[in-house]
Chain A
């Protein structure tokens, strides 16, 4: 016997495996699914140990068959043969190397059969590389990311903000709270790791100071009402205003911002950052009526009469109930209620209280960390799945833990207990174990069969999602599906010629940037509906790409203020980049707008 030491070759190969993992993660959208299936199959076949014939031979034959599809040498019967072969391999290969590879082929041949057919019948692929810059194509608002990173590298921060505003009038807000889908497939991952795009944007915002909005187009005399002054509504308002239309925004709360103001705690998004974005939007001449609820204070029909178009962006602000006994006890409140109270300047006092938060999303983390800052003696976040199944961003969970909040996974709430005065005194949860993977690809929790957990507490905060308060609009004839407003991809509401809708109210609770994107789409389509074709552009010259890219280099990830310090206030928790960090990080951008497919097609969209 001896201690195994890795050979040099094995060490190198394992490095390559990590490279491949990152490379797959950085796959650009729009690749041919059949060709990718073939490539995966080749990889799987290379992993074969060689013992059992279905895996050793079968995967090779499958490769040939899929290849024949791509080569235009297959017939429609080939698809059946591929399916049969994969079925037998999945059924009879001796280990997961074989049967899982075949399962992948089966999933593909069933999942994108039409692409197989297209290859066979027309020798063409259904898909195509339409958006070659990964970050831009994954940004719902299609912000010119390589452009503003290049500007940041030239220290032209105001220009960077102006360039962002071409597509997103919430550069400040997004700099702090965007979930940055743009980073998911950053091509830089193929070299080392994704560029910290969001962090760079924050650096630009922090350096730029006040950047005025561009001038509006000549007035058109057309009037557009926007119902809901959240990020979606205000984005639509901003762009419509720039296009020369008269926009009036109605919001039922006292201040604009929607969930940005009443849902996101200040330690994540300082009010002045949000205010700066809103000030700029309003500077384009948007008229605002806050504290006005459409349907109650003003009938929806009146807006239909008075305006040429209406954009419905009411968001998803209703609480969802768990539906367990004791939920109406005193001391049970929803995350939305809590965060709104804090956002309105009326925070509850949790001093000395034991708080339990139910839920595993970003809102539950916001509630958890807010409760901590409100003086709670203890904050426990309970979730029915595992920590790795929580939908909250990993850094939010880590920050909550660092701030002394306890995360208790695998507990499903079954009852809330109250004392004789009706006040919460405990929560009863049923221990779960993680179980089989469901249709959504996530493992489901199932009862572990162990005794219920009894956790004494004084406050229970329910953060299991939000609903849409669409009843008023439903009564006014707006079609809905399970509360969500039905709108077409171009934001039009069927049966209501001048009404458009978008954002959380249509999709259910999502992200800021998706709301912004929805507002942008709505603005373009409302403009067209009104008979115009205004273009939104910006006169910022983007610096040319540098010829050589930086060698492999770590991703800059600024930290947070010390936990013990930050839990005492609602000041910003996270730190920004230093200038040195911002320069290094911005130099990591590979400029996909210029290199690769980008300088051929779709590299830079200068106007929309």
Chain B
């Protein structure tokens, strides 16, 4: 243990504890901007500097361990001046038009500045301008150079956690800034669009392309039938922005809000998650039977960030992906075919909007392979959870006062298996439940495959189904995905089936989810989904009555010809940047 004094108070903490953590242990808060535990402990912003008696210079408290006998002041005149001047300096290079910022009210810099009571900045505004302030308006990931405070978190999260290194500190000297690595433009980079840089940004420098206006335009168009799907993970987090407790921020309350805004049909992506399971489980068993999994596993395909990752990093492994479309795209395909025919309307009138915890979904719905001559795009528009919150706020919907309302029929029905798609391991668990049924003709216990759950980034489990031993693995976070893929390629591991989600913890920690600075909420939110599964009446995808109706009325059976046409895709039908055929797109 180490003993020291902070602001006159004695502290005693284990060796290696940082000054900041030691201060917090006795209730002394030290503000930070760049710091992100275990990810970014580089002392860049110098806002957390403290005065240590006997040291000539101020010390950042985030990355200096407390040492025996230190006498520390966090609020001495010198500490105050250092903190304030450094925040003022950072503000001088930050576009402080908070009223028009997506992060207003949820911005670490805004809060810090307000807390310090900075009303006038003595330093002149010094923002990038001209070409240095520009960014593509069409790419799903948007960066505002004028707001970037160069905390380096995006660089670190992309490199360390996601192993992609899209962001880099570029230039040098006073012109140092963050930009796409290797002097690339973002649209030419192998960005997976996981959005983790967005959720780790302390300010409004990174966000999704804002499509809220397009949703409002669709609402205003009397010719359009708006069909909304709500992804499983959205129900774990959408209420955070309204201060709504998780148990009240249900999909039913969100449905009520969207219905009040005038959307025509509100459905649940859990429905098409179940549909995905029907197709993917059947496909898995088929590949298994054909001996196609002897060397390489089948990879799940429901996470578009992961698909982008695999196609750009290991393009030759693309055939290992399940051909099943993601639940989002299956939903769109079903809505514009089966549902349109049930309504008896021209499918082209249907405007399909999905609410997703994800940025990659925005790119996925625009893929050339995710459309059909009969009705155009499967999904027309993707809004992130954050965008749907903004949409509700823009119409002054008082979500707290809303009653819960069920989703519409028939695509509003999802099983517990479909719901857990939003958490790491959920797709695997749901698929195994149905695969077991398909092989044995009877349901396994619903929790038979819960061994795939957990918070480790790469998990393995073995199960026996009808005498056949299955090796499965689950990974979340692209760094973990890379390790797993490399191990598969090296022959160090062999799996039959692998689920991968690009974001750590899965979609509940998705790049489109509400942001809580400095906190990783994926597993807290994921627990909501497992709780919903536990109390669900239906916990097997194949028992979803609407899915059954869809097959009965429209598709026949999984992997049937209409199912293949509508619900499966050619992953080789498009290219990631860097692929020789990318430019031909």
Contacts and interface: CB of A to CB of B under 8 A. Distances in A.
Interface of A: 45-54, 56-61, 63-64, 81, 84-85, 87-88, 90-94, 99
A87 B79 CA distance: 12
B173 A91 contact: no
Interface stretch (B44-52, B270-278, B292-300): B44-52
A53 B124 contact: no
Interface residues of B, number: 32
Given A48-B172, A88-B81, A58 B49 contact: no
Nearest to A68: B124
Interface string B329-360: 00000000000000000000000000000000
Contacts of A94: 43-44, 46, 60
A7 to B, nearest CB: 14
Nearest to B42: A51
| Interchain residue pairs A-B with the least CB separation, the first 4 | A50-B176, A46-B173, A88-B85, A57-B89
Nearest to A61: B123
Given A53-B150, A60-B126, A48 B174 contact: yes
B174 A60 contact: yes
B169 interface: yes
19 contacts: A45-B173, A49-B172, A50-B150, A50-B173, A50-B176, A50-B177, A51-B44, A53-B86, A54-B89, A56-B150, A57-B89, A57-B174, A60-B174, A64-B123, A87-B81, A91-B49, A91-B82, A92-B82, A99-B57
B44 A52 contact: yes
B173 A48 contact: yes
A91 B86 CA distance: 11
Nearest to B91: A57
Given A47-B172, A53-B89, A91-B82, 13 more contacts: A45-B174, A46-B172, A49-B169, A52-B43, A52-B45, A53-B45, A53-B86, A53-B149, A54-B86, A59-B174, A60-B93, A92-B57, A94-B60
B178 to A, nearest CB: 9
Considering residues A53, A90, A94, which has the most beta carbons from chain B within 10 angstroms of its beta carbon? A53
B222 interface: no
B25 to A, nearest CB: 24
A53 B44 contact: yes
A433 B538 CA distance: 82
Interface in B251-302: none
Contacts of B82: 88, 91-92
Contact of A50 (B46, B78, B89, B169): B169
Contacts of B17: none
A61 B92 CA distance: 8
Contacts of A87: 81
A297 B130 CA distance: 85
Contact of A64 (B42, B45, B124): B124
Interface in B288-332: none
Nearest to A45: B174
A81 B46 contact: no
B413 interface: no
A94 B43 CA distance: 7
Contacts of B122: 81
B58 interface: yes
B126 A61 contact: yes
Considering residues B42, B58, B85, B149, which has the most beta carbons from chain A within 10 angstroms of its beta carbon? B85
Nearest to B177: A50
A79 to B, nearest CB: 13
B128 to A, nearest CB: 12
Given A45-B173, A48-B172, A84 B126 contact: no
B86 A88 contact: yes
A429 B565 CA distance: 96
Contacts of A60: 93, 126, 174
Given A45-B174, A48-B173, A57 B44 contact: no
Interface string B34-78: 000000001111100100000001101000000000000000001
A87 B80 CA distance: 13
A94 B58 CA distance: 9
B152 interface: yes
A53 B174 contact: no
B90 interface: yes
B531 interface: no
A58 B81 CA distance: 14
B562 interface: no
A94 B152 CA distance: 15
Contacts of A81: 122
A326 B246 CA distance: 90
Contacts of B85: 54, 58, 84-85, 88
Considering residues A47, A54, A87, A99, which has the most beta carbons from chain B within 10 angstroms of its beta carbon? A54
A57 B93 contact: yes
A46 B171 CA distance: 10
Contacts of A51: 42, 44, 150, 152, 169, 176
Interface string B138-166: 00000000000110100000000000000
Nearest to A58: B89
B176 A61 contact: no
Contacts of A52: 43-46
B176 A49 contact: yes
A85 B90 CA distance: 13
Considering residues A52, A56, A92, which has the most beta carbons from chain B within 10 angstroms of its beta carbon? A92
A16 to B, nearest CB: 15
Considering residues B81, B86, B173, which has the most beta carbons from chain A within 10 angstroms of its beta carbon? B173
Contact of A53 (B58, B81, B90, B169): B90
Contacts of A93: 46
Nearest to B170: A50
A87 B123 CA distance: 15
B573 to A, nearest CB: 39
A258 B85 CA distance: 61
A91 B150 CA distance: 20
Nearest to B93: A57
Interface in B6-54: 42-46, 49
Contacts of B86: 53-54, 58, 88, 92
A48 B45 CA distance: 14
Nearest to A99: B57
A20 B200 CA distance: 42
A93 B90 CA distance: 13
Interface string B461-483: 00000000000000000000000
Contacts of A47: 172-173
Contacts of B49: 91-92
A234 B86 CA distance: 63
Given A57-B92, A88-B82, A48 B176 contact: yes
Contacts of B152: 51
A401 to B, nearest CB: 39
B91 to A, nearest CB: 9
A59 B152 CA distance: 19
Contacts of B93: 57, 60
A69 B49 CA distance: 30
A81 B123 CA distance: 9
Contacts of A48: 172-174, 176
A45 B122 CA distance: 20
A53 B33 CA distance: 11
Interface string B110-152: 0000000000001110100000000000000000000001101
Contacts of A49: 169, 172, 176
A67 to B, nearest CB: 10
A139 B487 CA distance: 75
Nearest to A78: B122
A82 to B, nearest CB: 11
A47 to B, nearest CB: 6
Interface string B430-470: 00000000000000000000000000000000000000000
A52 B85 CA distance: 13
Nearest to B63: A94
Contacts of B42: 51
A53 B57 contact: no
Considering residues B43, B86, B92, B93, which has the most beta carbons from chain A within 10 angstroms of its beta carbon? B86
